[in-house]
Structure 1
Amino acid sequence: MTEAEDSKKRSAVGGLKTRLTSDTKSVFTPGVSARLEQQGAGKWHWLSTLFSSGNRVLPPRMAFVELAIFAFIILLEWQIDAFPDLTRMNPHPYWIAILLLSLQYGSVAGLAAAGLAIIGQTLIGMPEPDIEERYFNYLIRVWTQPVLWLLVALLLGAFRSRQIEKREFLKAQVLDLEARGTALVDYTNNLESRVATLERTLAVSARPTQNRLLSGLHALADPKPGRWANDLSTVLNAAMPRAAVSVAVADERGLRLVLTHNWPAAAPWRSEFLATDPLGQAILAEQRQLNVAERADESVLQGDGLVAIPIFQPGGTMPARVIGMLKIEQLDAALLDAATANRLAVIARHIAPALAQGAVQLVTQLSPSDAIKSADQSPDVASGATIETTSEERGGAPKRWRGLSWLVGGRNAGATDPKGGANG
């Protein structure tokens, strides 16, 4: 294992400890947190940190206790004459303390023990040189054993220090895995509780969209004073969620807006169309359906809608007489295709009796809150792109329908062509 790998592991352990500390702070009770803060702010906190087991330099407290005992034995040998002469024993008894401290606590404790042994041997006294012994031979004989003490303490201590470091790393990994396991258990319990709550909410609040749509169409076929607008809003919310729709009646001048649904406060769309306008002429004179997906119809709509269809006089009179117009200004992209106008014609046939009876005379702004509807709004099209005509399209030359705004959650985003092509 290289030094770079060791450094990387130490950094990983430090990051794990930091994350564990930050993630588990909220788990502590106020009493535990207060005690921890009190301990951290203690006067001698730096000393306990210095001798903690996580310190990479100094050995633990027990090593210093054993070093103190070793120093006390050396002191006894130095001061008490009756104490046994340890220098006469072979091997030297100091080897026991050096080996034990090196193998148990690492290189720092081993080197400290070797240093104490050298000091003790110096204090007690070095052996006298022989009469004919050379000086260098005497130094080699006297200092060979102290040098061996230092080398053994360094080598064995380094080996033990590496083991201690690896043990601390594995211990940190175990703590991290335990914390992750606890967090996963808590998350699973909370998730199960959340799922059960949502299931109960869905079971008691879900109302089929089809039922609302059919009930609304039935109510539109038999208009009642004060209820017709709300019934229409119910139908539109069930059939075309989030769609902006308007209803206009035909008069001497052309088409006049009488009802809007889901229009914004500053709507850019026109409220009146003369019989000579392209849109008024297509609805009143030509009596044809308009769909922005068709290039010819796009030039007629001129940014004032996506789909527009005529509302005919009920009763099947011939020739058919147009009494109004039903127009979509904004619609989910998933609902806009070549058959949208035909689906809109079904709603137009149901609102024709109300227009023929003159039940709608004034401009009315409807919103989803005006309708009697369930909490869920068409889960079939719960989210998606919304196509709307823009104010820029109403001025100047008409643009192709691919230039319309595709809005997803209020932000511009890409969408697909209703005919299957990509939005260009």
Structure 2
Amino acid sequence: MLKIHATVKKYKLSKYFEVLTGLIGLTVVNLLFFRSDPGFINVAPHPYWIVILLTASRYGFSGGAFAGIAASVFFLLFRTLALPDLAMTDFKSLAMWGKPILFFLVGVVIGEMRELNIKEYNKVCEVRDAYKDAFDKIKVKFDVLSEAKQEVDSKILSQESTLGTLYEAAQGLRTLDMESIYPAVLEILREFMDVDDCSIYRLEGTEFKLDTAIRHGKSFVPETVPFDEGLMGLAAAHKKTVSIREVASTESMPSGIIISAPILADNQRHVVGVLNVEKMPFLKFTSDSLRITGLVADWCGSSVENATVFKETKHKLIADEIIDAYTYDYFKRRLKEEFMRARRYELDLSLIMLEFPSLSNASDEGREEVLMAFSMILKNQIREIDILFISEKPGAFFMLLPTTPPAGARVVVNNLLNSFKALSVMAFETDQNLVELRAGVAGYTIGMEDPMELVKSVEEDVVSVLFAE
């Protein structure tokens, strides 16, 4: 069956195949369900019209003529078989030849009408294809001219792309967020040098590891590159910006790097990564592009160094000066000290957790303002030996109460709830989001081995309390 279909398609015999298939299908239906009337002789309108009309309206003159002839042959065959004693008068009668002639004429007429439509459609298609070809040729010329214009325009150093303007754009690197520095560096290259593909690799041990990349295509970017390989290794070794002009072999250019600049920190003494340019307009690849890439890499190194120093300094701080409470890192260290003291001398030790669920989705600025107010209340309600900490969860506090049993800690919690309720009536009358406080209390018990068991206990004890209505 597949071979027949392939042959029909190959020699464009679909119309003949469909006509014969349709007539044979009607014949099968006739012989199976309407045996009393072979060939549908007495049916009006005759089912053969379905095949004739569909074929003629689809394939035109040749299809309609063939369908009319084939339908006539089938009809004459069944008409002859229906008359066992066929006389000459029967053979010449209109009943014998009327429908076959009508089949043929209708197939030819409708087919010819469709043929005219097909020819007209083909002419329109030829005109359309001619216009499309002309458009494609013009588009190719336009694209070539546009690309040439873009490269010529990019070659002209305008006043807006001077180093002064570049320096203004680099002010975006004055962030202390390490994750924001590298994307900002690549955006500067893309904006001021029309760079298509660029990347930054961090130096980790004896290899470079991909950190951030900009890609306009699907070019491959290796995740790691050995320290002594290609332009990156050359730039890191000499601590200066290098290009493919300084490399004798293309084997030394992994991933098609054309410019590589070292990112230096610690007063330009240590390489922390490299800034790579993999793809850019040919006319932009000049000595100025090397100079700008090196300059941006220097700015990047300074920003990375500042962010690193800030991060290290922040980790060393034990108190949050804005909220006026100790940090969570210091909480873990101090909890361990107080826990060991309570276990050694069998002293009471309680931990209170206060959490404001509504602050978890608040902005950093809004959360800090609310926590500052609550911190002042907490400071006024606890003893000097009690210690207030910020939790790692947004909008939550830990309070460590040395030499205080859980019962005493619950009294402190009740006093705090009364203070919060009074504050909420005054400050949060119109804000229905800040009406809930979650509080929990836990105390050291004999048998505890790990300070975090105390944290786990207080988190399990946390219950929700409405303090504004």
TM over 0.5: no
Using CA pairs under 8 Å that are at least 6 residues apart, name the structure with larger relative contact order, 1 or 2.
1
The structure with the greater share of residues assigned to helix is 2
